Amino acid sequence: MTAPTETLAKTPLYDLHLAQGAKMVPFAGYEMPVQYPLGVKKEHLHTREKAGLFDVSHMGQVHLTGADAAAQLEKLVPVDIIGLPAGKQRYALFTNDQGGIMDDLMVSNLGDSLLVVVNAACKTQDIAHMRANLGPSVTIEVLDDRALLAIQGPAAAAVMARLAPETSDMVFMDYRSMAIAGIDCFIGRAGYTGEDGFEVSVPAADALRFAELLLAEPEVELIGLGARDSLRLESGLCLYGHDIDTTTTPIEASLIWAISPCRRSGGEREGGFPGAAVVLEQIRTKAVARKRVGLIGQSRAPVREGTELVDADGAAIGTVTSGTLGPSAGYPVAMGYLSAEYATLDTEVYAMVRGKPLAMTVAKMPFVPQRYYRG
């Protein structure tokens, strides 16, 4: 007897993916394209060299309105939301009472409201978390009727400028509302590849037309989840549920930069977020048992997620959380957690691959230069 299969959701671009020959896989409850006929490596390199179009409509988009929406949301994250200027966005973390990371997210200030984008696998939990903890003065609207597309790569700005010249003066982490070809768009100059680019929220009914406008440009190719993963890993960016989760604090995860100064000890609005006592104590003492680090393989063999890391004597000292052979870097890259005493740059550790220890070196991330446009 066959077990019942999960009913998977489809994004508004599902038929386009099929028409373009995508290999579809289950991901966070959706049928998503993992690659197209071009193949993962060529899709990765195309994004680094020209422009890649990603369907990220599985992400959760939540609109928060209310005079104190920023103050209310700030109670749930260790980030300055009150001081986030209109027309800007900021990376944030939902933390739990132990200081663990419930999700990472993007918060954008639309001027009179906030737009929050959360990870697909966490969106049900995150929406419930906001409903339970934001005050009655905040209206929470889940934008199920909007798609999300990302165009990434060195040619992304030129492509967008042809469609919407007013995007040209946006810089990294700017956020704007504008119409493109009559389509109501929310646009952030950001992304998940380390490249310059834009993430564009559009009405679901207009998603196909918007995607076709972009694909009509000669530099643009559709890119699947496989290359999205290798691009973000080379750029040192965490994948929720793999490199960060409820068992990791921001300090263990080497995300101290995501704790706004005004929320740290002695700051204007010190603490006040779930797990603040744990997180602020870890910042104060610099004492954590383990740290997220970058790792470069000294052989050609890729080292995958879940691989055990050991010291020269074979004693377990950590685990790889993401790993691949970096198509742009040209060598195996990984990130993972190491016991704090091994987490310093240039330390040699060993990955146990099929019973053999492969030498790896603790290295600075990103593994390839980030190219965000800062003006």
Query: What would the pLDDT profile of 185-228 be if each residue is shown by its tens digit?
Result: 999 999 999 999 999 999 999 999 999 999 999 999 999 999 99
Q: What is the pLDDT of residues 130-158, one digit of tens each?
A: 999 999 999 999 999 999 999 999 999 99
Contact of 71 with 114, CB cutoff 8 Å = no
Distance separating alpha carbons of residues 324 and 308, to the nearest angstrom: 15
State the average pLDDT over residues 322-337: 98
* CB-neighbour burial class of residue 85 (10 A; exposed 0-12, middle 13-18, buried 19+): exposed
State yes or no: pLDDT of 233 exceeds 50: yes
Query: What is the SS3 string spanning 260-310?
Result: CHHHCCCCCCCCCCCCHHHHHHHHHHCCCCEEEEEEEECCCCCCCCCCEEE
**pLDDT confidence of 5, banded at 50, 70, 90?**
low
Domains parsed from the chain with CATH numbers: 9-57+145-234 (3.30.1360.120), 289-363 (2.40.30.110)
Angle, CA 236 vertex, CA 320 and CA 173 arms, to 5° = 145
State the average pLDDT over residues 264-285: 98
Contact of 131 with 123, CB cutoff 8 Å = no
State yes or no: pLDDT of 4 exceeds 70: no
Task: Give the mean pLDDT of the chain.
Answer: 97
Look at phi and psi of residue 188 and say left if phi exceeds 0, alpha if psi is from -120 to 50, else beta: beta
Tokens 């978390």 sit at which residue?
129
State yes or no: pLDDT of 1 exceeds 60: no
DSSP code, position 121: G
Q: What is the pLDDT of residues 53-85, one digit of tens each?
A: 999 999 999 999 999 999 999 999 999 999 999
State yes or no: pLDDT of 2 exceeds 70: no
